[in-house]
Amino acid sequence: MTHLPPLKTVLALVLGVAGLLLGSSALAQTSLIQNAPARRVLSLNGSWNYIIDPYENGFYDYRREAFDKSASGKGGYYDNQKPSTAQEPELIEYDFDHSAAMQVPGDWNSQDPKLLYYEGTIWLKKSFKLAPVAGKRYFLYFGAINYEAHIYLNGKKLGMHQGGFTPIQYEVTGKLSPNGENFVVVKADNTRHLEAVPTINTDWWNYGGITRDVFIAEAPETFIVDYKVQLAKGNLSQLTGYVQLDGAGKIGQSVTLNIAEAGIKQTLKTDGEGRASFNLPAKKLKLWSPLSPKLYAVSLSNGGETVQDRIGFRTIETKGQDILLNGKSTFMRGISIHDENPLIPGRARGEGDLRMLLTWAKELGCNYVRLAHYPHNEAMLKLADEMGLLVWAEVPVYWTIAWQNPATYQNAETQLSDLISMGKNRASIVVWSVGNETPLGDPRLTFMTNLVKKARALDDTRLIAAALELHRTPDNVIHVDDPLGESLDLTSFNEYAGWYWGGKPSEITKYTFDIKYNKPVVISEFGGDALAGYHGDADTRWSEEYQEALYVNQLKMLSTIKGLRGMTPWILADFRATRRQHPVYQNGFNRKGLISSTGVKKKAFYTLQEYYRQQAAKYDSGK
């Protein structure tokens, strides 16, 4: 006879599980609104008060119990408590409005000298006026917060997000105060963790904080939450995609897709899921390419709202060792870029910083950029569309990730899904990269291969890549047979002959390549440091002449690769990195930039620029 547990125990268990589910769903982020910045917004950029909280006093009580998990949910800095007018004001040991302020978007490391190396919690608070309108829906949107964020509106928790480079969004309909007086509080924590993505060890500065735009998006009760409008895979005259509605009236609704300049106006009807898919002939499209970055005004309307976007149409595919852009063979003349303004070190702060970086890439003769090593700002992707630059977009699955931790994989897959969701309408993006320079091993191969499968499932129209591992043999052969390469569309690898190994620049042309895969080869990195203004001969390490000789000989050596179809040398500009501690040549900067941290072009810049001029003459004139 089995004894059932007492009813009250079963009830407690059921309620407990329900509470957990409700709790997590109540705190779950809503699916990302496509092209969120295009929705009517109230920007929350600007001056935010902040409190540095290395002991997390604003989150835990002295017994290390989280305030926001207590019965009242109160007690943390997120209450933004003010002394009452009572004679005996309560003891409150913080006050945002009398605390320092910093600019958002903006990392804290570059805004306060005492925070340059800070890793831990900083609370940020912004008060704002917004009186909600009946029948409208509201979403609080952050372009990125590095690394873990707990987010509260008017003292109530919205959720917790991990991942320092992808958008964060919570629906706040019904949570804005009727009188319009609101405040948002963020607990941002850039502490590094072994099981995080990226892990504890990287070669870039761990900039913490709210590093991209913050705004409130407004939408009608039933609105266009997502859409994709692109060319069908490998078909230059067929548009395909979908429009997804959200809200009570999402089913059976008419949605109009209008691309006036292409003579396309189509009324669609949403299905039982609120989704309308389409496949439309599009004979007269002017294709997008770096030489001719044509963008069409695309509008989607469901009666309640009209969403405008500017979308380019192109195809990208490989054929043997060739890369075909719109069916034509191309060579990807690229450069790697970090999301950092070298002139005012810190995360790129806005469109001005981004346009400066991409303008330098164009000056170099690029038609392609590798946005390393994490998702960049959505505005960067739109600029690449506008300026005609192909993009390699990447998630920070970098170096020694905790391959066997399921939560780590889930984190990586979520960041990849959010990146693809954000970038799927951008013609410039031609490559999704699932990681960089990850050490060989079965757990790593399983982890990365699963990411490849996920990327293909989400978007089969773009190339999938990763920076693979290589190994050398005493006969000076560089072997590229990393098993991860089997599942990728490109053979890409980071190769540092002449800097980390292989002798002086003049000696590296001794190497030959043995590449296992019959796929296009796009070198993801090569390069070497040079301190701008430091001159010597071609054998003087750290001099501009050494870096110049390294580029001359690298280009000679790489040109022997039959399937070479592109490259993104490391890197456009010097960038901050804590690993780089030589007091004369580095001072906390990785000096592999072709442009210095003061904007000076080094000699190697012109070496690569000339090589790209020759490649352009060969490929772009259709030879």
Smallest distance from ligand GCU to CB 494, Å: 4
Give phi and psi for 97, each to the nearest 5: -65, -20
The CA distance from 580 to 585, in Å, is: 9
Q: Which is nearer to ligand GCU, 373 or 602 (CB)?
A: 373
Residues 568-607 that bind ligand GCU (CB under 6 A): 570, 590, 592
Strand 275-281's sheet: what is its strand order? 223-231, 238-246, 275-281
- Residue (459 or 525) nearer to ligand GCU, CB: 525
Residue closer to ligand GCU, measured from CB, 373 or 565 = 373
Residue type, 297: A
Distance separating alpha carbons of residues 431 and 182, to the nearest angstrom: 41
Q: Which is nearer to ligand GCU, 436 or 607 (CB)?
A: 436
From CA 529, how far away is CA 203, in angstroms rounded? 14
Binding-site member from 339, 437, 489, 544 for ligand GCU (CB under 6 A): 437
Sheet with 492-493: strands ordered across: 492-493, 463-468, 429-436, 390-394, 368-371, 332-337, 564-567, 521-523
CB of 464 to ligand GCU, least distance (A): 18
Cite the beta strand spans of 223-320 per DSSP E. 223-231, 238-246, 254-259, 264-269, 275-281, 296-301, 306-311, 316-319
Our CB check for ligand GCU shows the closer of 189 and 525 to be 525
Containing 480, the helix (H) or strand (E) segment is strand 477-480
Interface of this chain with ligand GCU, residues 1 to 30, rule: CB under 6 A: none
Are the CB atoms for 278 and 296 separated by under 8 Å?
no
Instruction: Compute the least distance from the CB of residue 592 to ligand GCU, in Å.
Output: 5
Dihedral of CA 224/229/233/237: which sign? positive
Question: Closest separation between CB of residue 473 and ligand GCU, Å?
Answer: 21
Retrieve residue 216's tokens: 């409130």
Q: Which is nearer to ligand GCU, 433 or 494 (CB)?
A: 494
342 in helix, strand or coil? coil
| Closest CB to ligand GCU among residues 293, 396 | 396
| Helix or strand (DSSP H, E) at 123 | strand 121-129
Shortest Å, Cβ 543 to ligand GCU: 17
Which residue of 244, 270, 408, 436 would you call a contact of ligand GCU, by CB under 6 A?
436
x/- binding map, residues 369-388, to ligand GCU, per CB under 6 A? ----x---------------
Q: What is the DSSP annotation of 368-387?
A: EEEE-SS---HHHHHHHHHH
Nearer to ligand GCU, 222 or 433 (CB): 433
Under the binding rule (CB under 6 A), the answer on residue 152 touching ligand GCU is no
Minimum CB separation of residue 525 from ligand GCU in Å reads: 5
525 contributes a contact to ligand GCU by CB under 6 A: yes
**Which CB atom, from 229 or from 337, has the smaller least distance to ligand GCU?**
337
> In terms of CB distance, is 206 or 494 closer to ligand GCU?
494
Using CB under 6 A, which residues numbered 531 to 570 contact ligand GCU? 570
- What is the closest distance, in whole angstroms, from the C-beta atom of residue 372 to ligand GCU in the complex? 6
Give 460's contacts (C-beta < 8 A, 6+ positions apart): 233
Q: Which is nearer to ligand GCU, 132 or 345 (CB)?
A: 345
CB of 451 to ligand GCU, least distance (A): 17
Residues 250-289, one symbol each (x = binds ligand GCU by CB under 6 A, - = not), give: ----------------------------------------
Residues within window 440-499 making contact with ligand GCU, judged by CB under 6 A? 494
Minimum distance of ligand GCU from residue 298's CB (angstroms): 36
Of the candidates 516, 526, 513, the one whose C-alpha atom is nearest the C-alpha of residue 487 is 516
With contacts defined by CB under 6 A, how many residues of the chain interact with ligand GCU? 9
Alpha helices in 80-143 (DSSP H): none
Shortest approach of ligand GCU to residue 373 CB, angstroms?
6
Q: For residue 451, give Cα distances in angstroms to 395, 445, 458, 491, 587.
A: 10, 10, 11, 17, 36
Q: How far is CA 616 from CA 212, 330, 607, in A?
A: 35, 9, 14
Query: Within positions 193 to 222, which residues make up the interface with ligand GCU, using CB under 6 A?
Result: 203
With respect to ligand GCU, which residue has the nearer C-beta, 353 or 525? 525
Site membership for ligand GCU, residue 526 (CB under 6 A)? no
From CA 119, how far away is CA 192, in angstroms rounded?
Answer: 8
Residue type at 468 in one-letter notation:
L
The H or E element that residue 220 is part of is strand 214-220
The residues binding ligand GCU (CB under 6 A) are: 203, 373, 436-437, 494, 525, 570, 590, 592
